[in-house]
Amino acid sequence: MRIGIDARFYGVGGIGRYQSNLIRELEKLDKENDYFIFLNSEGFEKYKCENPRFKKVEADFKPYSFSEQLFFPITLYKNKLDLVHFTHFNLPLLYLRPYVVTIHDLIMSEFPTQKTSTRGAIVFFFKRLGYELTIRWAIKFAKKVLAVSNATKEDIVKNFKTASEKIVVTYEGLDVDLSKTKDLTGSEEIPKEYGISKPYLLYVSSMYPHKNVARLAEAFKIIKKDKDIQLVLVGKVSYFSKRARNEVKEILGEDLSKEVIFPNFQRDDGYLPDEDLYYFYKNAALYVFPSLKEGFGLPLLEAMTHRLPVCASNISCMPEIGGEAVYYFNPYDPKDMAEKIIGLLGDEKLQKSLVEKGLNQTKKFSWEKMARETLAQYHAL
C-alpha cells in the first residue's frame, strides 16, 4: 500500500510528539508498505528518514487555514495514496479517498466558551463553526477513528453518535528516558532565584481553563491552614497562564499568592530548561493534576517516571490512565481536593505505594505498542 501520514505538526507540542513517535516506530516495524510523510517546511528539515520505504513530502499548508482546505488535497491526490492517516481532526474536506483519523480529545466540544480562545466574539464564532464542521466530517467519513483513550472514545460516541465499533483505542506512549536528564551539572537543588524555600506541590502542564488551576488555588488556600507548603505551577508563558496567574492572585490575596511560584515567568523566553524542570520534579512533595478533561493524561505518567506520588482528578481519562497509582479527588470540589492532598502529604506509606504502582503503570504504555496497533488498522482496511 501507499500510505500517507499527515505530520505537519511534526515535533511540536503533543500532536507533534505523537506524529514523530508514530513515524519512528513504523519505520522499525513496516518493511512492506510505502509511506509518504507530509511535513511543513520546519518538519521537512527536522525529519530524517531511516527506512528507504519512507519518503518525505513538503506540505507547507498552515493548519486550520484556507490553504489546508484548498491546496493540501491537491498534494495528496498527486501522490496517488491508497490510505491517508490524518493524525489530527483538521483534514481537508475535499480529500475524498480512504483515510483514518486520530482524535486526541474533544476538549473544544466539551468546553465551547470563548474563555478557551484569545479571539474576539465574531472570530471565535466562525472558529467554532469551522471546528464543528471539520471534526464531524472527519469522524463521519473516516474508515476508522483512532482514539487515544477509552474516555475519548466514549466522548466521540456521545457527541457525534458514532458507532462504537468504528472507533479503535490506541493508547499513546511514554518517552521511557524522560526522567534521565543527561549531562546534569552542579547541585541537584532548585536554583534559588525561583524562590522555593519549603516543601511544595508541583503542577506541570498548560493553563487552559479546563486545567482547573483556579480551583487548585482555592484548595491551596485551605491546605495552607494545615501545611506550611508552597505551590509550583509550571507552564509556558501565554495568554492563558497570565490569566491563570491573575486568578490565583485574586483567590489567594497578595500575601498568600507569594507562596505560589510560576517559574516560567522568571525566564526571559518563558520556557523552563529541561535541567530545571528535572529538579522541580525531583524535589517536589507530590504532583497534583486537577484537570477537568484530558484526551490521554500524559502528565500523570510523566510524574510517575520521576517517582512522584500523584494526586489527581477522578474524572475523564485520569482513572483509566492512572489506574491504582493515583490518589483521586473530585476536581469540582476544592475542599475534597484539599483534604485528599493533605491526607497524601501525611501518609508516607501511601506515598511509597503510589510511587511503586506508578512505575509499573508507566510500563503499560509504549509508542511501539501504539504503532503496532495503528499498523494493524491500516492492514485491516
Domain architecture of the chain: domains with CATH = 2-173+366-380 (3.40.50.2000), 192-362 (3.40.50.2000)
Give the pLDDT score at 47: 97
Q: How far apart are CA 216 and CA 231, in angstroms?
A: 9
Does the pLDDT value for residue 112 go beyond 90? no
Neighbours of 156 (CB within 10 A): 22
For residue range 269-301, list pLDDT tens digits in order.
888 888 899 999 999 999 999 999 999 999 999
Question: Average pLDDT of the chain?
Answer: 93
Q: Which residue has the cell 510523566?
A: 302
Q: How confident is the model at residue 379 (pLDDT cuts 50, 70, 90)?
A: very high
Does the pLDDT value for residue 133 go beyond 50? yes
For residue range 32-68, list pLDDT tens digits in order.
999 999 999 999 999 999 999 999 999 999 999 999 9
Does the pLDDT value for residue 119 go beyond 70? no
Q: How far apart are CA 2 and CA 97, in angstroms?
A: 12
| Nearest-10 Cα torsion for 354, 151, 218, 112 | 160
Give the pLDDT score at 176: 58
Q: How confident is the model at residue 181 (pLDDT cuts 50, 70, 90)?
A: very low
User: Which residue type occupies 80?
Assistant: K
**Residues of the chain with pLDDT > 70: what percent?**
94
Predicted TM-score (pTM) of the model is: 0.91
Contact 337, 291 (CB under 8 A): no
Q: E strands, 144-296, where?
A: 144-147, 167-169, 200-204, 230-234, 260-261, 286-289
Helix, strand, coil tally for the chain in percent (to 5): 50, 15, 35
Q: How far apart are CA 96 and CA 290, in angstroms?
A: 40
87 vs 187, residue with greater confidence = 87
**Residues of the chain with pLDDT > 90: what percent?**
83
